[in-house]
């Protein structure tokens, strides 16, 4: 086997390998984006739970007389604002997830349509 044949064989083999593995690599990248969204969503849920816990604790402390009304109002307003910020961040993240989802689903729809066409061809 001469050098030219070896180079051509390696080039063609590499091209076929890349062409074959590209959909798998692309799918993995899409899944990593989804995993990142889910991780951020979980972090926001934990933060929101913490905000709710702090508001409940403040309410309890005020009801038992452990803190003054001025301190209670200031702290409660602060935690309510943080809760609003977290909810807004959750809405933005949800919108980003929904915007990314059609791209993923479009690929699946194309594959399903191709399978259906293939099955129709076998039946005919």
Asked if residue 1 is part of any domain, the answer here is: no
The upper half-sphere exposure of residue 30, i.e. CA atoms within 13 Å in the direction of its Cβ, equals 16
- Domain range for 97 is 29-123
Q: What is the pLDDT of residue 71?
A: 92
Provide the number of structural domains found in the chain: 1
The number of angstroms, rounded, from the C-alpha of 58 to the middle of its chain's C-alpha atoms is 33
Mean pLDDT of 76-89: 94
Predicted structure pTM score: 0.56
Of 29-38, 57-66, 90-99, the range with the lowest mean pLDDT is 29-38
Mean pLDDT of 54-70: 93
Cα–Cα nearest to 45, from 98, 78, 111, 94: 94
Q: Contact, 93 vs 37, CB < 8 A? A: yes
Asked if residue 22 is part of any domain, the answer here is: no
Question: Cα separation of 107 and 98, whole Å?
Answer: 15
Asked if residue 6 is part of any domain, the answer here is: no
Asked if residue 37 is part of any domain, the answer here is: yes
Q: Evaluate if residue 40 carries a pLDDT over 60.
A: yes
Q: How confident is the model at residue 4 (pLDDT cuts 50, 70, 90)?
A: confident
Asked if residue 2 is part of any domain, the answer here is: no
Asked if residue 24 is part of any domain, the answer here is: no
Question: Cα separation of 38 and 43, whole Å?
Answer: 9
Asked if residue 94 is part of any domain, the answer here is: yes
Asked if residue 10 is part of any domain, the answer here is: no
């Amino acid at each position: 086997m001469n050098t030219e044949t070896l180079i051509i064989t390696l080039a063609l083999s590499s091209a076929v390998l890349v062409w074959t593995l590209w959909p798998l690599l692309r799918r993995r990248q899409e899944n990593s984006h989804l995993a990142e969204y889910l991780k951020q969503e979980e972090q926001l849920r934990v933060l929101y739970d913490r905000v709710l816990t702090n508001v409940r604790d403040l309410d309890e402390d005020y009801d038992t007389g452990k803190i003054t009304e001025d301190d209670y109002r200031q702290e409660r307003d602060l935690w309510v604002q943080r809760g609003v910020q977290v909810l807004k961040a959750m809405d933005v993240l949800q919108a980003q997830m929904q915007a990314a989802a059609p791209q993923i689903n479009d690929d699946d729809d194309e594959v399903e349509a191709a399978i259906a066409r293939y099955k129709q061809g076998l039946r005919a």
